[in-house]
Structure 1
Amino acid sequence: MAYDVIVLGSGPGGYPAAIRASQLGFKVAIIEKESLGGICLNWGCIPTKALLKSAQVYEYMKHSTSYGINTSGVEHDFGGVIKRSRGVADKMSKGVQFLMRKNKIDVIMGYGKLKAKGQIEVTGADGNKQLVEGKYIVIATGGRARELPNLKIDGKKVIGYREAMVLPNQPKSMIVVGSGAIGVEFAYFYSTLGTKVTVVEFLPRVVPIEDEDVSKELEKQFKKQGIEVMTSSTVESVDTTGNGVKAQVKKQDGSVITLEADVVLSAVGVVANVENIGLEELGVKTEKGKVSVDKYQQTNVPGIFAIGDCAPGQALAHVATKEGINAAEYIGYLEKKYNHQPEPMDYNNIPGCTYCTPEIASIGYTEKAAKEAGYEVKVGKFPFIASGKASAAGNTDGFVKVIFDAKYGEFLGAHMIGASVTDLIAEVSVARKLETTAHEILNAVHPHPTMSEAVKEATAAAYGEAIDI
């Protein structure tokens, strides 16, 4: 079978790349070994948000009296929560199937491996092999949970994110190793449903890539929720021979304590899926476990592109999507089906979102990074406790923090923690893309009462013009 473009992997990078290539007039095939939509739709972004929504609804109901609504006997059905999450994921995966049909993209199920220039061998579930040929190949193989040598995932007592989404029974206690997005989201979910959760983080603060003020606020909120947080700590070993798990944890002072729990969730990041897909045979360069690419996602081998978690950019679904579209449009440009080169990615203007409660969203420079880059900065902070909408909604935890260049007013970064901030961050992304300064933010009228006013108010605070604080 011969195609113009073959996409290896159907996640949030792969399927948009296939659709955009089809829109540009190419004959396209997509190869998927498991489920259309990849990890994001089936085992990542979407089903986890469904779980978190169930936890949030349960939390609202438990505290309904604070809204003047009396309820009694509120209970959760753990199995029902898991079932709803899987249903949401299945619906989204079926949506991708529809999009493939709509855009006349051939779907080839099986494990794909590069065999020669323009050729991929696909091994089906039945073991049968077929050769698929294409002028251009887009590698979108994604990533998987990183595994530590002393924390081997057995799928039962030491689990990864996939098992955490479909546990048959709710554990009474859980140790979460790692406090990135995956770790803190599951920590919130299980804690809200009644599991005793302990978070163990190797670095000095939780969500360590975030601004320091955000880390401090999340740790404070987690402790209020009853989540135990241990930073500057490492899991030295785990013993799974008994009924539960015993973890030896080394603390900052060098002392070692034993934590006991029903299960340990390893959430120490992701690693790219670059092994056993034929990269070495074709001479495709990799560096630090990722496929090396140029600004148009091209590898060193002509005709082969790489996008998403297996490429060097941030391992985020929205990054993969844009990289996939860019790759398709650059192929279109090479084949004279698209009239200009796509605009390369600006990896310093990528929003990062974490969906625990309170939510976290950030973009651009942290305050520390801006100063280290040589900027003189103006920093403004607006607490949600001063927001009318937040007060009315009963969600006053957190703040919006903004960072501007003192000399020119350039919008260097924004860091938010609180309700709905994963929606608020888009304003800053667009503002920074348009090279907006503080002046424009202050003079753009924000609707009242909304959470979005916090962006304007934080900006006003940076310039000594705050009204509501």
Structure 2
Amino acid sequence: MANSYDVIVIGSGPGGYVTAIRSAQLGFKTAIVEREHLGGICLNWGCIPTKALLRTAEIKHFSEHAKDYGLKLNGSIEADIKDVVQRSRNVSARLNAGVGYLMKKNKIDVIWGEAKLTKAATDGGLGEIVVGKITKKIMQPQNPVPKGTLGEGTYQAKHIIVATGARPRTLPGIEPDGKLVWTYFEAMVPETMPKSIVVMGSGAIGIEFASFYRDMGAEVTVVEMMPQIMPVEDAEISAFARKQLEKKGIRILTEAKVSKIEKTSNSVTAHIDINGKTETITADRLISAVGVQGNIENIGLEALGVKTERGCVVIDEWGRTNVPGIYAIGDVAGAPMLAHKAEEEGVICVEHIAGLETAEPLDKKKIPGCTYCTPQVASVGLTEAKAKAAGYDIRVGHFSFSANGKAIAMGEDQGIVKTIFDKKTGQLLGAHMVGAEVTELIEGFVVAMNLETTEEELMHTVFPHPTLSEMMKESVLDAYGQVLNA
């Protein structure tokens, strides 16, 4: 049958399109279904365009501190928010086109529309989906559907992989309205620059937007329910990051909750419960960054009996659901909701389908997390608190950016590298960083953990000088009382 495939992937985000490519590489006839943008949230409205915005903010920040580098700039630095946003959108458009090229290169059929599972692959038969008209648009603006691609109809496959991603979670009474109360969609494309912002939530999304808008000149208040910002991070790293963010003028309220909001024509007042009292803050806009939830609704999961839990599809280590022939990967399959986790899950899923002996389940303890605020935060593995709670007797090493020649030369001498080892075996249990470019450095520790590298091997590794990476080795040395430059 013309509409019959070995593998159909629903959703073309990083997890979906990478899965489709690996599927095609393994010789499967493959199709991918998308209702809005190739590349999904990450390429179009998440990971990539936010980094373009943050790069602009970083350049603006350096320009305003040019005298610290012996430079004089004539005139003031002004940001044209329309041009700032357009640059971000152009970056996304370029990558979106790149995904389209990859689909053609790998001979993957792209089916445009909204997919619904209608039949599972039972008794060796084929599963089935029906692709209908696009009725709900999450991302704006809508890209035109390319000519010559597939659309509405019934499609069959032996293996159907759900990669529908996630969307912003909303709180009752504080629902985004697209004007005064924003999700990350609206925060990414402001028509004018707000003079003041309240950010509700201090995870990666909230803190990145807080950092961006503050560097662009807005007054920013962050409201977080937990005792620390970036709650998943090591407490010491979080506390250091908080001090640096507060130094740049961001007001941070922890153990606080936005209980209700009031709107005027062009401002929003947040009522914040903190320390048994209620404080009100009026700002131009409020960004709701209280997490995301999986896109599990209206795609036929319930009718086929696919098990879900807490808004996500339940899977095993190979991405299989409880229903034969139906799989799930990425955000829709649960935490951590990260693009690189989705990609790896998808590759593992389809390689297991192909029967590759090299396929191995994903070890979620070795998935790095990155927050691209200023200063950056990056981590992998167990925090100090979690390592202790797990019963490990640990060694902890630290090294400060203020003792690193490259960091000082860069004018970026505020930061920490922290490493955690099992005292008994020398196993690297976790690595946590805050400071310039740590999102680029963290992968060194991820590789070390995957190779089961011990402290002795890390201490005998030669790191280039002068680099920020030297701090990684120094942190290891510090854990064992051998630090050289501090």
Fold-level similarity (TM above 0.5): yes
Q: 1:40 aligns with which of 34, 42, 64?
A: 42
Looking at structure 1, the residues matched to 20 and 187 of structure 2 have their Cα atoms a distance apart, in angstroms, of 31
**How far did residue 341 of structure 1 move?**
5.3
The reply on whether 1:247 has 2:282 as its aligned counterpart is no
**How far did residue 218 of structure 1 move?**
1.1
Equivalent pairs counted in the alignment come to 463
Instruction: Quote the residue 2:449 is aligned against.
Output: 432
**How far did residue 150 of structure 1 move?**
2.7
Q: 1:6 aligns with which of 5, 8, 23?
A: 8
Instruction: Quote the residue 1:65 is aligned against.
Output: 67
C-alpha distance after superposition, 1:35-88 (max 9, x if no partner): 000000000000000000000011111111111111132211111110000000
Looking at structure 2, the residues matched to 102 and 351 of structure 1 have their Cα atoms a distance apart, in angstroms, of 30
Instruction: Quote the residue 1:162 is aligned against.
Output: 185
Q: Is the 8 A contact 2:112 2:152 kept in 1?
A: no
The reply on whether 1:273 has 2:276 as its aligned counterpart is no
Looking at structure 1, the residues matched to 316 and 227 of structure 2 have their Cα atoms a distance apart, in angstroms, of 34
Looking at structure 2, the residues matched to 327 and 110 of structure 1 have their Cα atoms a distance apart, in angstroms, of 24
Looking at structure 2, the residues matched to 88 and 19 of structure 1 have their Cα atoms a distance apart, in angstroms, of 22
Root-mean-square deviation (Å):
1.1
Instruction: Quote the residue 1:258 is aligned against.
Output: 280
C-alpha distance after superposition, 1:214-248 (max 9, x if no partner): 11111101111000000010000000134310110
Instruction: Quote the residue 2:360 is aligned against.
Output: 343
Q: Residue 126 and residue 362 in structure 1: after superposition, are their counterparts in 2 closer, same or farther (change >3 A)?
A: closer
Mapping 1:45-444, distance limit 5 Å: 45-72=47-74, 73-117=76-120, 118-125=127-134, 129-251=152-274, 253-333=275-355, 339-340=356-357, 342-444=359-461
SS of alignment partner, residue 366 of structure 2: coil
Q: Identity of counterpart residues, as a percentage?
A: 51
Instruction: Quote the residue 2:124 is aligned against.
Output: none
Which letter maps to 1:111? E
SS of alignment partner, residue 422 of structure 1: helix
Q: Is the 8 A contact 2:81 2:190 kept in 1?
A: no
Which letter maps to 2:118? K
Q: Which runs of 5+ in 2 are unaligned?
A: 121-126, 137-150
Looking at structure 1, the residues matched to 35 and 309 of structure 2 have their Cα atoms a distance apart, in angstroms, of 25
SS of alignment partner, residue 169 of structure 1: coil
**How far did residue 124 of structure 1 move?**
2.8
Looking at structure 2, the residues matched to 126 and 293 of structure 1 have their Cα atoms a distance apart, in angstroms, of 28
Q: 1:30 aligns with which of 10, 17, 32?
A: 32
Q: Is the 8 A contact 1:399 1:417 kept in 2?
A: yes
C-alpha distance after superposition, 1:314-343 (max 9, x if no partner): 10000000001111111111xxxxx41511
**How far did residue 142 of structure 1 move?**
0.2
**How far did residue 312 of structure 1 move?**
2.7
Instruction: Quote the residue 1:15 is aligned against.
Output: 17
Instruction: Quote the residue 1:336 is aligned against.
Output: none
Looking at structure 2, the residues matched to 408 and 347 of structure 1 have their Cα atoms a distance apart, in angstroms, of 21
Which letter maps to 2:162? I
Q: Is the 8 A contact 1:274 1:310 kept in 2?
A: yes
Looking at structure 2, the residues matched to 438 and 126 of structure 1 have their Cα atoms a distance apart, in angstroms, of 55
Q: State the TM-score, normalized to the length of structure 1.
A: 0.97
Looking at structure 1, the residues matched to 262 and 114 of structure 2 have their Cα atoms a distance apart, in angstroms, of 35
The reply on whether 1:463 has 2:480 as its aligned counterpart is yes
Q: Is the 8 A contact 1:313 1:347 kept in 2?
A: no
Q: Is the 8 A contact 2:401 2:471 kept in 1?
A: yes
C-alpha distance after superposition, 1:125-162 (max 9, x if no partner): 49984111111100000000010113111111001001
**How far did residue 313 of structure 1 move?**
3.7
Q: Is the 8 A contact 2:82 2:191 kept in 1?
A: yes
Instruction: Quote the residue 2:144 is aligned against.
Output: none
Which letter maps to 1:146? R
Q: Is the 8 A contact 1:351 1:362 kept in 2?
A: yes
Instruction: Quote the residue 2:140 is aligned against.
Output: none
